[in-house]
Structure 1
Amino acid sequence: MAKHDIPYVNLPAQGREQLDDLKRILEQVVLKGSFVGTHDDLALLEKRLAEYCGTSEAVALNSGTDALFLAMKVAGIGEGDEVITPPNSFVASTATIVQVGAKPVFADVLADQNIDPEKVARAITPRTRAIMPVHLTGRVCQMDEIMDLAERHGLVVIEDAAQAIGSMYKGRLAGSIGHFGCFSAHPLKNLNALGDGGFVTTNDSAAADRMRRLRAHGMADRQTIDEWGLVSRMDTLQAAVLGYRLDKLPDVITKRRANAALYQKLLRDERVYVPSCRNEEFNTFHTFVIQVDRRDELQAHLRSIGIKTAIHYPVPIHLQPAAKSLGHEMGDFPMTERQADRILTLPVNQYMTEADVETVANEVLAFVRQ
């Protein structure tokens, strides 16, 4: 049996490539001696992020989770409100709804893993205040239908774009379509910090200004606290690293898209489901997810020959112990549940060679054709 060495992510390769520049950035931050809450440093990054994402405002925060939380907070979502979101996301989407005091209401997904607008429409009640579509895998949801529903029912749209920086739907960038766009800069993301980080995009300047106060204890200045806030500002070092890596993001996306295109070309077998890219989509492929039977066996086989994969996510949120009080059970969201047993995330990182992609694809095909 042939042995390979293909990691799922390759942060060491990124580190080696950028080490000299990162040392220089660290030295500049250390010698400047200002590590948190530096307005000029954050303001510059925020200006660039807003320009990149096609909005007038961006607010730099310490995580994508806080981005979701603060977007809902400034939108006035709280006790007694309902927020519609899919059950197949990372837990942060649902957890932040609970943390602001609202109730998560799930809507099932389409074959491409993104929320189904028809299911969203059925989930709307008099208590619904917002829709939180999740642009899973780097593919933007069907936002025309979602924005139409929001307009007709007077709802706020909070895009969970944690996996979708640079992705587009009908020429519009993720995070610029709804009222708020919430992004993560976790080390595993396409635009990644050296630790946790995140930001919110919006065209609402008043909401952005309020978020900036809330991220720093609610302080208008050192002597004045406008409202009770929290500590959610982005560190100066992470802001500097993200500013540096923002210049490299187009190349990262180009390489990941090339890897994904090669997978799509090679994995043409009825036993391997690969969601196609529609003409109106520009998918940045934070992840490349296939759907197969005997998923766990395939993953174990690939691991045994040195190919690392992941599963995003094996247990839907509505079936997690923390969600017990919501009253859901197996069968409530059949598409999500079926996908949870079949999804497998293949490596697609920008440091893979064409030979690596071909190796992974060939091993997958050899297994499913047994």
Structure 2
Amino acid sequence: MSEENINVWGYLREYEAERDDLLDAVEQVFRSGRLILGDSVQRFEHAFASYCGLAHGVGVGNGTDALVVALEALDVGPGDEVVTVSNTAAPTIVAINTVGARARFVDIDPKTMLMDTSALAGALSERTRCILPVHLYGQCVDMSPVLELARARGVAVLEDCAQAHGATLRGARAGSFGDIAAFSFYPTKVLGAYGDGGLVATSDDALAAACRRLRYYGMAERYYVLQRGHNTRLDELQAELLNRKLTRLDAYIERRQQLAARYAERLADTELRLPVVGPERTHVYYVYVVRHPKRDAIISALRERGINLNISYPWPCHTMEGFAHFGYAKGDLPVTEAVAEQIFSLPMYPSLTDAEQDRVCDELRSVLAELQ
């Protein structure tokens, strides 16, 4: 009998383990009499913001909307510039584009593959309204130089925390450093819903109030529009599912870190470049990203052996046709571009078994030996 495929992510085993609790959440919401912006959303907004060390959470429809709402709450719009990285999921840049601002890109640190904060000052201009660090793959950008520069220049800081639920820098959690933060609860995330979901978090009362208006048509009270807004609300059912899963978030993170430690041990003597954790940080390993110059051949060979990997992300945003109007060309961000040609993600999710991970490592080591 042939072995089953191992995918880079999966939720079915987790669902079976948590099924009774999750279905009880469904029953609770359906019997509550309130299906939109009810008690479950309010409880989750408060609980998740508190987990992050923040005062306010504003649930929205997805992570992209969280970024859009946060940017608009900061009054970022046409004519403004947002400084960020190209090594990110496209929604980061889609959100900047949606509000009519221009993305200005800085290159990345070749070790952590996060924003090169030493290059940040050179990217700021008179039009810079916001710095948007992306806590990619599961660990935080070094926020001290970001915040120092932002304060000196009088610009806002919006943290993209879609991949870093629970990650810490000097003991503080992702999202608690800047003016405002955006989170995604897409099913693959460290804290994932069973559908779409997002949240904006801040300790600024005025920004929180603005976000609540923006997510609900621009209304501060029912039926009366104060400003241009959106219809983007965290679903009551998804919120209750997230409430239940939030109690297990630290356990999810601990298992991801265990798997990462096993990968590091099993693959330490290979030609792969393994993840580097920056100083004074914890990594929650949303994805376990490695590098190799023969990346495509490795992925193809492992697929034939029943192991399906992923690339996060094969195209830097500044090279995409949809963002050509920002005026960047191939060659402008050499580290970002070099990394994009080599990175790929190994299977990483809490219900991955040790035996499955051992098989991934064994097959990967075999493929690497054949490619020498």
| TM-score (norm. length: structure 2) | 0.96
Partner residue in 1 for 2:107: 108
Distance 2:139 2:245 in 1: 21
1:216 is matched with 216
Report what 1:205 is aligned to: 205
C-alpha distance in 2, partners of 1:124/1:214? 27
- 2:48 aligns with 49
Q: 1:264 is aligned with what amino acid?
A: A
Residues 101-180 of structure 1 mapped to structure 2, 5 A cutoff: 101-111=100-110, 112-180=112-180
Distance 1:270 1:41 in 2: 47
Q: 2:66 matched to 1:71?
A: no
CA distance in 2, matches of 1:275, 1:254: 17
Task: Map 1:296-307 to 2 at 5 A.
Answer: 296-307=296-307
Distance 2:276 2:264 in 1: 8
SS of 1:106 mapped into structure 2:
strand
Are 1:83 and 2:105 an aligned pair?
A: no
- CA distance in structure 2 between the partners assigned to 1:122 and 1:26 by the alignment: 50
Cα deviations by residue, 1:29-87 (Å, 9 ceiling, x for unpaired): 1222321122x332211110111001111111111111111111011111111101100
CA contact (8 A) 2:255 2:350 kept: yes
Kindly provide the amino acid, as one letter, of the partner of residue 193 in structure 2.
A
Segments of 4+ moved more than 6 angstroms: none
Alignment of 1:184-195 (within 5 A): 184-195=184-195
Question: How far has the Cα of 1:270 moved from its partner?
Answer: 5.5
Letter in structure 1 aligned against 2:42: A
User: 1:357 deviation in Å?
Assistant: 1.9
Partner Cα separation in structure 2 for residue 181 and residue 165 of structure 1: 11
1:235 paired to 2:230: no
Contact 2:107 2:333 in 1 (8 A): yes
Aligned: 1:310 with 2:310: yes
Q: In the alignment, what sits opposite 2:332? A: 332
Task: For residues 151-209 of structure 1, give each alpha carbon's deviation from its aligned partner in whole angstroms, at most 9, with x where no partner exists.
Answer: 11111110000000100011111000111111000011011111100101111011101
Q: Supply the distance in 1 between the matched residues of 2:67 and 2:41 (Cα, whole angstroms).
A: 19
Aligned to 1:261, what secondary structure does the other structure show? helix
Q: Is the 8 A contact 2:82 2:102 kept in 1?
A: yes
What secondary structure does 2:290 align onto? strand
The one-character-per-residue Cα deviations of 1:249-276 (angstroms, maximum 9, x if unpaired) are: 1110000000001111121136210132
Q: Retained in 2: the 8 A contact 1:159–1:181?
A: yes
| Structure 2 unmatched ranges of 5 or more | none
- In structure 2, the CA distance between the partners of 1:156 and 1:259, relative to structure 1 (3 Å rule), is same
Deviations 1:72-117 (Å, cap 9, x if unpaired)?
Answer: 1011111111101100101111111111111000111112210101
Question: What code does the residue aligned with 1:223 have?
Answer: Y
Q: Matched residue of 1:27: which SS?
A: helix
User: 1:4 Cα deviation (Å)?
Assistant: 5.2
Counterpart CA distance in 2 for 1:129 and 1:364 is 45
Q: Using the aligned pairs only, state the percent identity.
A: 35
Report how far residue 28 of structure 1 moved: 1.8
Instruction: Note if contact 2:288-2:346 (Cα within 8 Å) is conserved in structure 1.
Output: yes
Structure 1, 64-73 or 226-235: larger mean CA deviation? 226-235
**Is the Cα contact below 8 Å between 1:87 and 1:107 reproduced in 2?**
yes
Q: What amino acid is aligned across from residue 230 of structure 2 in structure 1?
A: L
Q: Secondary structure of the equivalent of 2:109?
A: coil
Post-superposition shift, 1:309? 0.9
User: What TM-score results when the alignment is normalised by the length of structure 1?
Assistant: 0.96
